[in-house]
Amino acid sequence: MSGEVHAGDFLMVGFSGTYLTRSLREFFEEIKPKGVILFKRNIENENQLKRLISDLREILGEPIIAIDEEGGDVSRIDFIVPTPSHMGLAATRDPSSAYRIARIIGRELKRLGINSDLAPVLDVNINPDNPIIGNRSFGEDPDEVALYGENYIKGLLESGVIATAKHFPGHGDTSTDSHYDLPIIPHNYERLVKVEIKPFQRAIRCGCPMIMVGHLYVPALDPEKIPASLSSRVINGFLRETLGFEGVVITDDLEMKAVSSQFEVRKAAVKALSSGADIVLICHTREYQEEAYEVIEEALKDPSFRKEALL
């Protein structure tokens, strides 16, 4: 991105409601976020959704319009073609099924005006006590997760929709939900690379344009007890330098307790961007979004803070 940047270039935000109130319009006109994330709360029917997206584009130009449309239980849109979960796709024993289903999802999203799917989930589902991943994963074999994930990414990209591999560096082997607490990935570096990281390496090689970093404490990558989403060692050091990822890094929602129980959301936003993230995700609370905008705008005045945005 050339030219002057502003705080909104680093923000993806969510909101309540199925249309833009005057207050919401003023909010979006003020902060001009780079992205907007949609949930079920924003969707009633096809005509309403298209109108909402059209209104957002009228204000924001060419924003990222994102959604979690993984298939299976994680589907935000009731009126598109229903698709299997990631685990259901892996159960076919046919990796091309992931490609075909992702193309269907991508075509449906693009038809509605949505240009980014926060999928696939590349977590290796090893821990049977995992409360949040389960059938959202392609399975417990890192090679199969990598293979199905690559096919899914290619299907989305060929449909013209941005794919987002998540939740780096891997949320599969945890018994804690990062919505409520900070999960720990206790394994040594060798095991981490062999299992958790393998699907993300393949995603990078096949050209996945965006990676979502999860709120996970990974001492093998950073001994400081902070979420990976706020860690320069994880993002700048490992994801960028070691793995060579040159695409867009987005955080998981900064309002999740794994982050917000330790950091004010506004401070977490600046810390994530200083650590190498390109976009911070704040899904719910306008007050937090406004505060993050203000502190990022202030940080941009500091010569030591980043001055560029990748999108």
Q: Is 69 exposed, middle or buried (0-12, 13-18, 19+ CB in 10 A)?
A: buried
The answer to the question of residue 311 being in a domain is no
CB atoms within 10 A of CB 199: 29
**Which pLDDT value is given to residue 242?**
97
pLDDT tens for the chain, residues 1 to 311 = 345 789 999 999 999 999 999 999 999 999 999 999 999 999 999 999 999 999 999 999 999 999 999 999 999 999 999 999 999 999 999 999 999 999 999 999 999 999 999 999 999 998 777 667 888 999 999 999 999 999 999 999 999 999 999 999 998 777 676 677 788 998 999 999 999 999 999 999 999 999 999 999 999 999 999 999 999 999 999 999 999 999 999 999 999 988 988 899 999 999 999 999 999 999 999 999 999 999 999 999 887 776 565 55
The answer to the question of residue 273 being in a domain is yes
Identify the CA nearest to 166 among candidates 110, 247, 105: 247
d(CA 145, CA 11): 30
Instruction: Please give the C-alpha separations between residue 89 and each of 21, 120, 233, 268, in angstroms, as whole numbers.
Output: 40, 12, 34, 36
Q: Are 216 and 179 in contact (CB under 8 A)?
A: no
Catalytic residue from among 173, 222, 252, 278 = 252
Whether 302 is catalytic is: no
The answer to the question of residue 145 being in a domain is yes
What is the C-alpha end-to-end distance of the chain, expressed in Å? Answer: 6
Catalytic residue from among 55, 141, 179, 187 = 179
Q: What is the pTM of this model?
A: 0.95
**Which pLDDT value is given to residue 130?**
67
Q: Are 179 and 135 in contact (CB under 8 A)?
A: no
Beta strand pairing status for 11-13 and 116-117?
unpaired
Whether 179 is catalytic is: yes
The answer to the question of residue 307 being in a domain is no
The answer to the question of residue 236 being in a domain is yes
| Ordered DSSP codes for 270-282 | HHHHHTT-SEEEE
The answer to the question of residue 15 being in a domain is yes
Torsion region of 32: left, alpha or beta (phi above 0 gives left; psi -120 to 50 gives alpha): left
The number of domains in the chain is 1
Q: Return the CATH number at 289.
A: 3.20.20.300
The answer to the question of residue 305 being in a domain is no
State residue 200 phi and psi, 5-degree precision: -75, -35
The answer to the question of residue 162 being in a domain is yes
Quote the domain boundaries for residue 282: 7-299
